[in-house]
A and B are shown apart, each in its own frame.
Chain A
């Protein structure tokens, strides 16, 4: 064997090591930039807190500054209050989003597959979609026996549209050749759904769910201002009424952190379901 033959695999190995190092560097860099972004946000928050404390008219709100808020957050975390206020909210969002998935995904598949249904439903669905979910509030209160059910309905109304439209768009993009090949290989409609359509659009469905979750999380807090005596929205209202601004700030922070975490989970799921190769 010649020297060149030996050096070939060595070079391939060192290329692989270099690629891994470059990946690690890229990851560290984006982590550092992300931390910097959070740092800037924290600095602005501290600046705001300092300004409020200085202003004679706003002195009462000084507890919204980072230090009192974080102290209260630590206190709440130790007493298990964070979980107590978050669990009912997560439960409501889970139900609303779950029902929206159960309705939105099949409906989206039908709309994507059937041109006549698409034409029939387009105008009414676009009209309904543009109505703010919160404007259904009075109707929801009248229509449902419990406050919980009304809130779940509002979350459903907010989240069903992105799921349905993302699913339909994914179905429309399915390569017709996949369906032709499956039919040719003897697939029945259930096979088509399980082995072709759902894997092909899994990423689109997850993208729709991610958008829906973002909207649902935003709608949740004002929806929980209604009647209920649990959840993050109630906690915000309650803190305001009892003039406990450190608690208000801590609750706001909890809402942001949970929302961010849920969105990151969705992003992970999107990556997991994506079959498209990104060239590395």
Chain B
């Protein structure tokens, strides 16, 4: 991803604030900058006594979950299919309401979906009747911030490496490029929290690895808090600062571990490989 690295390297020191400012397109308005700065710090997420039971189900699919995610942290929820990790992500994003307990983002209880925390799904689900730029601008349009579209979308498309495709129909793009549009769409409203629901699982291995690296780098540059759902240990090791391993029946967290795979998050790196192996062993032992 040359576009991202050049974008990031051009602003090596005060990356977070400058990038947030340049994305907001407002350099003069101090209130704007203050808001951008606050956005850039990322959300604090607190899960309190969270339980969930689907209608008609006999048992809870999630049971008494308690954890916190600090601002700017990237957390991977790792677990086998059916352990409730996607349900947990939907509850955090306010797309569903829990049976008991609650989700608090920056101290406020989550009651519904909100542009400040956005979910990215496995399928990009772009609108095929729109161009790349129009798809990326949807969140701003829905938020009534149309005036910002012209200023914010071009740097965002540069960030995800799709400047040349801005006016192309999304049906012309590859799967990986479409997922990049979905990422730009998610970032357009300057969210504080990005919730990723296995967003790369439909992509080929090469594209997947590139996007994993890029999304981590972008999240770190923007200071976003990220919660990532995955069943792929390597993905968790590449992307996350911390892994929560979940076990099923009922869905619960059995392991909470900080990840330190070193600066080079790549399978050729021995330190990364050792950390990945440790997480895999923990996963096998508990999940």
Contact = CB atoms under 8 A, between A and B. Distances in A.
Interface residues of A, number: 21
B129 interface: yes
Contact of A181 (B121, B128, B141, B171): B121
A196 interface: yes
B95 A184 contact: yes
Contact of B129 (A177, A180, A200): A200
Interface stretch (A19-27, A186-194, A241-249): A186-194
Interface in B111-126: 113-115, 118-119, 121, 123, 125
Task: Name which of B93, B113, B130, B171 has the most chain A CB atoms within 10 A of its CB.
Answer: B113
A1 B9 CA distance: 32
Contacts of A175: 125
A186 B125 contact: no
Given A185-B115, A277-B171, A195 B138 contact: yes
A275 B128 contact: yes
A32 B274 CA distance: 72
A181 B169 CA distance: 18
Interface in A255-276: 275-276
A91 B282 CA distance: 76
Interface string A152-187: 000000000000000000000001011011111111
A199 interface: yes
Contacts of A202: 129
A183 B171 contact: no
Interface of B: 93, 95, 113-115, 118-119, 121, 123, 125, 127-130, 138-139, 141-143, 169, 171, 185, 189
Given A181-B125, A184-B95, 14 more contacts: A178-B127, A181-B121, A185-B115, A186-B142, A188-B142, A195-B138, A196-B127, A199-B127, A199-B129, A200-B129, A202-B129, A275-B128, A275-B129, A275-B171
28 contacts: A177-B123, A180-B95, A180-B121, A180-B125, A181-B121, A181-B125, A182-B142, A183-B113, A184-B95, A184-B118, A185-B115, A185-B139, A185-B142, A186-B114, A186-B115, A186-B139, A187-B138, A187-B142, A191-B141, A196-B127, A199-B129, A199-B130, A200-B129, A275-B128, A275-B129, A277-B128, A277-B169, A277-B171
Q: Give the top 9 A-B pairs by smallest Cβ distance, nearest first.
A: A275-B129, A177-B125, A185-B139, A186-B115, A187-B142, A186-B142, A199-B129, A181-B125, A277-B171
Interface of A: 175, 177-178, 180-188, 191, 195-196, 199-200, 202, 275-277
